[in-house]
Structure 1
Amino acid sequence: MDKFKTVLNIANQHTNLGFGVVALLTAGGEQIFSSVVFGCPCSPELNFVYGMVFLLVPALALLLFGFMLSKKTWKLVTGLCRCKKRPCGWRRLFVEGHVLCQISSSALVAPCTWIAVALLNGNYFECAMTGNSTSSYYTQHLCTQTKAAEQCWKDLHKFPCGKGSEVPEADRGRVMLTLRAHSQILGWLLIAAIMLSNLLLTCLARCTSPISYLQLKFWRAYAREETSMMESHIPKHAKELAGRNLNSFFTNKPPEEVYTPSNEDWEKISSLYKFSSRKQYYSTLHRVVENHTETDVGMQRMTSVRSNDSTSICPAALGFVDDGNSAL
């Protein structure tokens, strides 16, 4: 598990590298499933369901796993049902839908890779398309290539197993070759669509970027460093507070003063980031810190961060801020 986390941390430092690692891991998993786990039942009732389950259900699981791994998902849903302090109008729903689209763009990498690799492999498609649930027009088209079309239609579900059919082996091979060709064509079309859409979305995000290329690069570096230091500082502070409490309990002495942020402070830095062209803040934490002020009695908390309940949309080019890594 530690090695897996290390791979994810390295991948998160660069978007293209991260997507590449996820795609490679998914492709490797699909190959293992296809060669070790998958076995077409060669049944007229089960072929279609079995093939489609192996094609789509793992993709759905990977999609859900992608949502679970995103920090932005939990920032979005934590406290979402509490509408006492937050406006719950259409504008806020639109903003949250925009954030959900940003999360989905990253979460879709693994499932799309699974489906594309599975289609290029062809095993799942071949099994599914030889079941009785497929279109009769499509199966008739496949069997017109054989000399015994009627017998082919009856025994089509047995073709993936390569035996048990009275249709000549050459005809069976021709049908299976056609199925594999159709599967691979769909796979390459899906890959082309993914690459084209990714290019267009990236160009659109960069075109509408409110900041320059080098500042965007600096911003990414800052977001990564802040996230890394936050994840290392939280356990240290928790250990300090726990040690203070245990020492006070076992020695029966008053506890030493250890400052811990209030619920309001935690809520401020946990909110989704909002870009402001008037004030340059590199993260929500940066905004909260800048809104503190020095007084005679020390650092005091001022009014709530204005953007805490804001419904403004963060530019797509800055979608990496809440995750601490590049999103484009």
Structure 2
Amino acid sequence: MDRFNAVLKIANKQTNLCFGLISLLTAGGEQIFSLVLFKCPCNELNFLYGMVFLLVPALALLLLAYILSRKMWKMMTGFCQPGTYASCCKRMSHCLRIIFQISTTALVAPSSWIAVALLNGNYFECAMTGVNVSDYSERLCGGATSLIQCRKELPKFPCGGGSSVNDRQVVLLTLRARSQILGWLLIASVMLSNILLTCLARCTSPVSYLQLKFWRVYSQEEKNLMDSYTMKHAKELAERNLESFFEQTMPRHVITPSSKDWENISTLYKFSTKDYYYSTLHKYVETGMVRMASLKSAESPADNPAVLNFVDEAGMGL
């Protein structure tokens, strides 16, 4: 477990490397699925079977990315507490914007799966030979010797059955070409979108390059130390309680933050150009408990600039 946590810390420090590893692992997983598990039924289930293998693993990877996002759970915890209609609308709007920000990272693995699967072509071939649409099958079998025979035996083509070898090869090559075109278009669109969003975030950055670099380092160190301090004080409190119980003595005093203190430092960070605090904890410590509570109730939930999204991220894990 310690080695796994160490790997995650290294990956969290190298965002681009992390994305690259995710894409490579996803591509490797798709190849294993394609070789070991995928067997096209070559009947009326072709379309459903192919679409399930193409899209359902991508959906599972997307949901897994949401589950492993600490920022998601930080936002959702206590989200359903009662409040006024206006405050609920603000929270909902803020929640949707945060989900969009998380999705830009969460879509890396699903996009990689679909792109690699389309380049491979097996799932697309199986699915498209099972499409029960006369116009589509006629267009697909346009170059076949016997159009009626091709349409009738089209679902059997992925398994090597059906019409003559030449007809089958023409249809399958056409489907594979379409699949690979879609795969390359998806890869190009994802890369272009990533470049554009990154450039937009950097161009609108409210801080300089070196301060942003320092901010990233501070954010990561604060998260690491928070885990360390949490474990240390939780262990101290547990030892105090067990010692008092087994030795039947009065418990010694151990200082722990109140529920209000935990609530104040658990909110998502809100950047302000007036005060350059580097996290919610930093702001809480600098302003004090009373002022922090008043600021929390008074300020609207403004979004962080996209370039500062790392502030509330803590890698994988709850």
Query: Normalising by structure 1, what TM-score?
Result: 0.91
Alignment partner of 1:323 is 2:316: no
* 1:87 shift after superposition: 5.4
For 1:307 and 1:314, the matched residues in 2 are separated by: 17
- How far apart, CA to CA, are the structure 2 residues paired with 1:267 and 1:76? 12
Please point out which of 167, 175, 179 is paired with 2:175: 179
Assess if the C-alpha contact under 8 Å between 1:47 and 1:130 holds in 2.
yes
Q: Distance in 1 between matches of 2:302 and 2:212?
A: 20
1:168 positional shift? 1.1
Letter of the structure 2 residue corresponding to residue 12 of structure 1:
N
**Amino acid corresponding to residue 182 of structure 1 in structure 2:** R
Q: Does 1:194 align with 2:190?
A: yes
Quote the offset at 1:173 in angstroms.
1.1
Query: In the alignment, what sits opposite 1:143?
Result: 141
Relative to structure 1, the CA distance from residue 252 to residue 9 in structure 2 (aligned partners, 3 Å threshold; closer, same or farther) is same
2: CA distance between counterparts of 1:86 and 1:214?
42
Structure with bigger helix share is 2
| CA positional deviation for 1:305 | 3.8
User: Pairwise mapping of residues 98-247 of structure 1 onto structure 2 (< 5 A)?
Assistant: 98-133=97-132, 135-163=133-161, 165=162, 167-247=163-243
Aligned partner of 1:274 in structure 2 is 270
Q: d(CA) in 2 for partners of 1:86 and 1:263?
A: 25
Do the aligned residues in 1 keep the contact of 2:58 with 2:110 (CA within 8 Å)? Answer: yes
Letter in 1 for 2:116: V
Tell me what 1:20 maps to: 20
What amino acid is aligned across from residue 96 of structure 1 in structure 2? C
Unaligned runs of 5+ in 1: 293-300
What is the DSSP-based 3-state SS (H/G/I as helix, E as strand, rest coil) of the residue aligned with 2:124? helix
Q: 2:280 aligns with which of 268, 281, 284?
A: 284
In the TM superposition, what whole-angstrom CA distance separates every residue of 1:204-232 from its partner, at most 9, and x where no partner exists?
Answer: 11111100111111111111111111112
The count of aligned residue pairs is 313
Residue 56 of structure 1: how far off its partner (Å): 0.5
Larger RCO of the pair (alpha carbons < 8 Å, separation 6+): 2
Once the 2 structures are TM-superposed, how far is the Cα of residue 6 of structure 1 from its aligned partner? 4.0
The structural deviation recorded for 1:93 is 2.4
Letter in 2 for 1:272: L
202 and 126 in structure 1: CA distance in 2 versus 1, 3 angstrom threshold: same
Structure 2 equivalent of residue 40 of structure 1 = 40
1:90 offset after TM fit, Å? 3.2
RMSD: 1.7
Contact preservation (8 Å) 2:23, 2:108: yes
State the shift of 1:95 in Å.
1.9
Aligned 8 A contact 2:120 2:180 in 1? yes
Percent of pairs identical after alignment?
59
What is aligned with 1:75?
74
**1:10 equivalent in structure 2:** 10
Checking the alignment, whether the CA contact within 8 Å between 1:269 and 1:288 is kept in structure 2 is yes
Whole-Å separation in 1 of the counterparts to 2:2 and 2:105: 22
1:65 alignment counterpart: 64
Q: 1:185 to 1:2 in 2, by over 3 A?
A: farther
Cα separation, 1, equivalents of 2:77 and 2:86: 15
Q: Which structure 2 segments of 5+ residues have no match?
A: none
- Note the C-alpha offset of 1:92: 3.2
- 1:140 Cα deviation from its structure 2 partner: 1.2
